[in-house]
Amino acid sequence: MDWIISVSSAERARGELLPETAREATAQFRKHGCIVLRGGLAPGVVDAMHQEYLARFGGLNGRGMQAQAESPPPTRFTQVGDCRYEITLRMNGAFGSPEVIANPLLLRFLMPLLGEDLRLSSFTSVVSHPGAGLQHVHRDHAYLYNEPSVNQVMPVYAVNVSVPMIDVDMETGPTGIWPGSHMWDSQTELPPLDTVTSFPFLRGDCVLMDYRTLHAGLPNRGNRIRPIAYLVYARTWFFDEVNHPMRVSLDMRMEEYQMLPESIRPLLTRALAQNMRNRWLEVDVREADAVRRRPQPTSSKIGRNELCPCGSGKKYKHCHGQLVPAS
Ligand SMILES: O=C(O)CCC(=O)C(=O)O
């Protein structure tokens, strides 16, 4: 397959593809709406992500995931298929490493496609548990314009980077992809399932997909839990308002944001904005609480020297509070 591009350890160490590799990868991405950068991440980085995943969520079986997804918001879990769950990842530990969220090789590849000022739009994981069925075939986002002629020439506006945290063989179920579907005229017509392209994912793969490319999680017929991390990068003007309605799409605390190198903070401004919004909610809750605790007046009696409540501007004693002489 011409869209699986091998990344050498020298390119990885330099944090940049060789110019001819980058040219080839960009051409394939534009044509197919997807590529694999095989070896894009070092095995140690991916293994650390998997360890972090296990430490946080390894104790949850399918039923535990289901209960989390059904609990009232806020929750970081959403069901996205049968025995398949999407989880917003808190960006700390291995999931907060600049090597993962702001990987130089990936960013240098993405900048010509999305602009130098691209933004991280979401960071989640989709996990399929043994027994997961075939997911519905979908695009991550609808076309921005309905006119087919526009979509044909519309450049990419968001890229989903999947990072499998384990080697995913065909039994465990990788993601099936329909190359070229980002440019199809109709966005309602779904292709026959037997036209899907699928292949095992390896640790270290970065599977890049145009947000318009059709794909579906394949069934998990094995006995391993299969977590894949998803980093979505977008043009500055594109905001995804469909995929994370009941949860945050980026979860990074202020102290973690402030520890990031200055140079990558612009990439993460949306994490900062979501964090700020949470802080305002906390302020709202604190203020409402303070009002509730404030001592309430015990009597509604009006003092004689206070303004009359009728709005006349006179003192109460000279207005409605005048003493009526005893007859
Ligand atoms: O589980 C997978 O392989 C794909 C998941 C996915 O595309 C989604 O949930 O949007």
pLDDT per residue rounded down to tens, the chain (327 residues)? 899 999 999 999 999 999 999 999 999 999 999 999 999 999 999 999 999 999 999 999 999 999 999 999 889 999 999 999 999 999 999 999 999 999 999 999 999 999 999 999 999 999 999 999 999 999 999 999 988 788 888 999 999 999 999 999 999 999 999 999 999 988 888 999 999 999 999 999 999 999 999 999 999 999 999 999 999 999 999 999 999 888 889 999 999 999 999 999 999 999 999 888 877 777 777 788 888 887 765 666 778 888 887 778 888 888 888 876 665
Which of 2.60.120.620, 3.40.640.10, 3.40.50.800, 3.40.50.1470 would CATH assign to domain 4-281?
2.60.120.620
Nearest residue (CA) to ligand 1, atom 2? 217
CA atoms of 83 and 222, how far apart (whole Å): 13
Look at ligand 1, atom 1, and give the residue with the nearest C-alpha: 217
Give me Rg for the CA atoms of the chain.
27
CA of 77 to the centre of ligand 1 (A): 14
Q: Would you state the torsion angle of the CA atoms of residues 58, 36, 245, 184, taken in this order, to the nearest 10 degrees?
A: -150
Rounded distance from Cα 84 to ligand 1 centre (Å): 8
CA of 326 to the centre of ligand 1 (A): 85
Q: What are the C-alpha distances in Å from 280 to residues 18, 73, 268, 276, 286?
A: 45, 17, 19, 6, 10
Ligand 1 residue neighbourhood (C-beta within 6 Å): 80, 84, 86, 126, 128, 135, 175, 215, 217, 228
Nearest CA to ligand 1 atom 3: 217
Q: 48 and 41 in contact (C-beta within 8 Å)?
A: no
Which residue's CA is the closest to the ligand 1 atom numbered 4?
217
Query: How far, in Å, is the centroid of ligand 1 from the Cα of 78?
Result: 12
Domain positions in the chain are 4-281
For residue 321, with 0-12 CB atoms within 10 Å meaning exposed, 13-18 middle and 19 or more buried, which class applies?
A: middle
Written as six digits, the tokens of 167 are: 């080697």
Distance 192 CA to ligand 1 centre (A): 18
The residue whose CA is least distant from atom 10 of ligand 1 is 140
CA gap 211, 191 in Å, rounded: 17
Ligand 1 centre distance from Cα of residue 166 (Å) = 15
What pTM does this model have?
0.87
Name the DSSP letter for residue 138. Answer: B
Question: What letter would DSSP give residue 267?
Answer: G
